[in-house]
A and B are shown apart, each in its own frame.
Chain A
Amino acid sequence: MGGRDATMVLLDENGIRCDGRKIDEPRRIMIKAGGLKNADGSAYIEFGDNKILVGVFGPRDVHPKHMSNTDTGILRVRYHMEPFSVGERKRPAPSRREIEISKVIKEALEPAVMLEKFPRTAVDVFIEVLQADGGTRCAALTAASVALADAGIPMRDMVAAIASGKVADTIILDVNNEEDQAGQADMPVGYMPSLKKITLLQLDGVLTPEEYKKCVDVGVKGCELVYELQKKALHDKYFGNRGD
């Protein structure tokens, strides 16, 4: 990512990052399943300072009709950032970046959902970023998968996501906005924890093969932490006072 800002201390000598976290410590994560009455399924996530709301509709009729597939249902994802989600007002029209992230999230969810049970239908996922602070695609993917489960869409597994990266020559977990801007690498990882399969892997920056392997490992471990919270969110909504 563009400007390498040398003035900010991203990692001090004690291994403490610019926002006070340790190198393998994620930000505070809160996930809530449900919340939207009119959507078939919904979820809200707070991932550090990211605040994202996801609504899922479907399976339902496909419009326009020509998009429908007689063999399987289709998944449609819209990732959108509110004009007030970032420091300077963002124009509300979908940007190049938002269109790309929509596609990336869609492709990360597709291995998990079993839409072949609903031919000729569509499942629509609407992701609204209310507040952004780096790593929105991972947070959005995490929330989208909770919302899909809440909507009762059959899924092989949940998809949990978190970014790992490289800052001051150290591999870290959960890259925040400052580290994303000034760091050396950023790697969002989407992972299906029970099936042990990666569904999203991007890399922005330069890593050696060893660093790359470590980065993936750190990301996968982070996803397992996120998965526990996804689980908790769904348990709280559906099994709340019933224990297990």
Chain B
Amino acid sequence: MADKRKYVIPGDIVTSGPFRPEQNVILEGNNIIATAVGISEIYDDSVKVIPLTGKYLPKINDLVIGKVVSHTSLSWELDINSCYIGFLPAMDVFGRDFSTHADELSSKLKTGDLVAARIANFDRTRDPLITIADRDLGKIDDGVLVKISTSKVPRLIGKKGSMIQMIEMGTNAAITIGQNGWVVISCETEEGLSKAKKAVEMVNEKAHIANLTDLIKDMLDGKDES
């Protein structure tokens, strides 16, 4: 279990001793030093810092929401709210028998389309490779895009998905959360949509409040005074 949570800024010594440095910490001599503003967590044998700020850095297997920005004859380029552009090869969409002559890429995905995708491969030498060949992935036909801070994505999901489930139940909306901080909400009723959107934005703004769950619940139940 995580104990000894601390608020840290870059350069702060989180702990010292035989721990394995994980995310956002470095080993400097015998000390483990934080490299980001965030909350430090010390586990049995490892230390990490959960960042409170920063851009999205692609990680293999992350679900992201991407926006098509352009395409070549072989692939699409997606804006995934990161410093790198997502690379979606045409073969992924058209299948193995894809031919540059017969298939027109813009027939499937046009510039500006939103896509739910998964990071298939990423390393420091190349731009992230993206796939939509999976269940629940692919072009998003309807819904509104809400942009939240990347560092607040875990808060929106909640413990074992509790927060997002509550919002979905309360509004009858379907919410897709990309790890890159982009969220797509779709709902059949106008009211549910605006409520869900409000709830997501509320999580984004008030992520640090301890009883946020109750606050959101009150809002969803209509007991909202703000």
Look across to chain B and name the residue whose beta carbon is closest to the beta carbon of A232. B9
The one of A70, A151, A244 that contacts B53, using a Cβ cutoff of 8 Å:
A151
* B189 nearest CB across to chain A (Å): 32
In contact, A121 and B83 (Cβ under 8 angstroms): yes
* B180 nearest CB across to chain A (Å): 14
* Interface residue? A58 (CB, 8 A): yes
- Residues from 131 to 153 in A contacting B, C-beta threshold 8 Å: 149-153
* Interface residue? A195 (CB, 8 A): yes
Q: Of B30-38, B138-146, B163-171, B217-225, which stretch is located at the interface?
A: B30-38
A29-72, CB under 8 A of B: which get 1 and which 0?
A: 00000000000110000000000000000111100000000100
Q: Given A40-B55, A59-B55, A156-B28, answer yes or no on A238-B37 (Cβ-Cβ < 8 Å).
A: yes
- Residues from 1 to 29 in B contacting A, C-beta threshold 8 Å: 6-7, 9-13, 24, 26, 28
* Interface residue? B124 (CB, 8 A): yes
* Interface residue? B125 (CB, 8 A): yes
The 3 residue pairs across chains A and B that have the minimum distance between CB atoms: A152-B54, A157-B11, A152-B53
A interface size (C-beta, 8 A): 36
A154–B151 Cα distance when bound, in Å, is 14
* B7 nearest CB across to chain A (Å): 4
Look across to chain A and name the residue whose beta carbon is closest to the beta carbon of B7. A239
How many residue pairs at the A-B interface have CB separations less than 8 Å? 83
A92-135, CB under 8 A of B: which get 1 and which 0?
A: 00000000000000000000101001111100000000000000
Known: A120-B84, A152-B54. 14 other contacts (CB 8 A): A59-B55, A60-B83, A112-B10, A114-B35, A117-B57, A149-B37, A152-B53, A154-B24, A156-B26, A158-B10, A158-B11, A234-B37, A235-B9, A238-B7
Q: Given A70-B125, A242-B208, answer yes or no on A156-B55 (Cβ-Cβ < 8 Å).
A: no
The one of B13, B54, B208 that contacts A194, using a Cβ cutoff of 8 Å:
B13
- Residues from 198 to 244 in A contacting B, C-beta threshold 8 Å: 230-231, 234-235, 238-239, 242, 244
A235–B52 Cα distance when bound, in Å, is 11
Offer 20 A-B interface pairs, CB within 8 angstroms, sorted by A. Answer: A58-B55, A61-B83, A112-B10, A118-B83, A119-B125, A149-B10, A149-B53, A150-B53, A152-B53, A152-B54, A154-B10, A154-B24, A154-B36, A155-B10, A156-B28, A194-B33, A231-B9, A235-B7, A238-B37, A242-B7
Binding site for B on A (CB under 8 A): 40-41, 58-61, 70, 112, 114, 117-121, 149-158, 192-195, 230-231, 234-235, 238-239, 242, 244
Look across to chain B and name the residue whose beta carbon is closest to the beta carbon of A239. B7
A112–B10 Cα distance when bound, in Å, is 9
Residues of A within 8 A of B55 (CB): 40, 58-59, 152
The one of A112, A119, A150 that contacts B37, using a Cβ cutoff of 8 Å:
A150
In contact, A153 and B54 (Cβ under 8 angstroms): yes
